[in-house]
Amino acid sequence: MVVWGRQAVTAGGKVELQVFTCFVGNGSEMKIELTDKAGKSHGSFTDQISGNRFWTEVKVPANAKVELYATVKLPKHGLSKKSDPLIVIPAVQITNLKWSQKEARRGDVVKLTADVKGVQDGAEATVDILEYDADGAHDPITKLPTLVAKSKIEIEWEYEYHEDTDEIPTDEEVKRYGNKYNPPECFFTVTIEGLVAGKKQESGLLLFKDWVDIVLKDQTGSPIPKEDYVLHLPDGSKRQGTLDDEGTASEKDVPPGPYTVEFPNL
């Protein structure tokens, strides 16, 4: 008797296979061949019977289709036995992970998408968004449940920046970002039926850009207009400008983090 450990398995997965015999000598050689419904061979291997029983774990070929059979042959005894069919379920494939944009700002609504094969529409999926760290210690930001629809994952997320004051940049990050700065970048993964896609940042990195509003007033609360300023940014760079008639200025698309403002003429 040749028995699979399960009735169905995903292509590329593993399944238990057992062979039971009677009156066959201990140590008898056997050959096991795997074939699909079309009769195509997917490899074979040899082993030995021990105590009228044999157990092994078989990896189902990724290209096996519909059904897989195991045929056991005992050459010295002229015996052969074929298993019942093992139903082969197409492997889940999650590809083409993408952000809808390359940069995000506070309050931006970003769309995350991925293509999915091998599952029915309505299948549950989980999107995990993480802050990238070059040393691999990525910080989880949020977890978003969703469903597969029309063979796709599509979900929106409102970007929120939470400064990680405990993060210490690596030497690589220090050299890359002005010797002291590591800008926040995010990537996401998609999990369906235990398969996780995107661990190697296939989605690409979403870079966060911030803005700074500058307001200058005197001791009475009145605005101080037309004053020159120097904005010192967390990556070591500077921006210079002049306040407007209301004593205000706004700097867009700056790296997030702690800032200082200098008024050289005061």
Domain harbouring 193, CATH code = 2.60.40.1930
Same domain assignment for residues 199 and 232: no
Same-domain status, 140 and 77: no
pLDDT 10s digits, 35-70: 988 889 999 999 988 888 899 999 888 888 889 999
Same domain, 23 and 64: yes
Which domain-ending residue is among 47, 65, 89?
Answer: 89
Prediction pTM value: 0.62
pLDDT 10s digits, 202-240? 999 999 888 899 999 999 999 999 999 999 988 788 999
Q: State the distance between the two ends of the chain, measured CA to CA, in whole angstroms.
A: 93
Nearest to 257 by CA among 217, 222, 210: 210
196 and 118: one domain?
yes
DSSP 173: H
Strand order in the sheet with 53-59: 2-4, 14-20, 53-59
Instruction: For residue 204, give the 3-state DSSP assignment.
Output: coil
Of the residues 89, 109, 139, the one at which a domain ends: 89
182 & 233 share domain: no
Dist CA 184 CA 198 (whole Å): 18
225 plus 134 within the same structural domain: no
Looking at every residue in the chain, the average pLDDT score rounds to 87
Give the residue numbers spanning the domain of 43: 2-89
Shared domain for 113 and 141, answered yes or no, is: yes
The count of C-alpha atoms lying within 13 angstroms of the C-alpha of 3, restricted to the half-sphere facing its C-beta, is: 9
Identify the helix (H) or strand (E) that includes residue 176. Answer: helix 171-176
With a CB cutoff of 8 Å and minimum separation 6, the contacts of 68 are 34, 35, 36, 42, 60, 61, 85, 86, 88
φ, ψ for residue 162, nearest 5 deg: -120, 110
Number of domains into which the chain is organized: 3
Is residue 38 located within the same domain as residue 75? Answer: yes
Q: What is the mean pLDDT of each run of 10 residues along the chain (266 residues)?
A: 89 88 82 91 90 89 87 89 91 94 90 93 94 87 95 92 50 52 86 91 92 92 94 87 94 85 92
Report the candidate in 245, 215, 213, 240 with the shortest Cα–Cα distance to residue 229.
Answer: 240
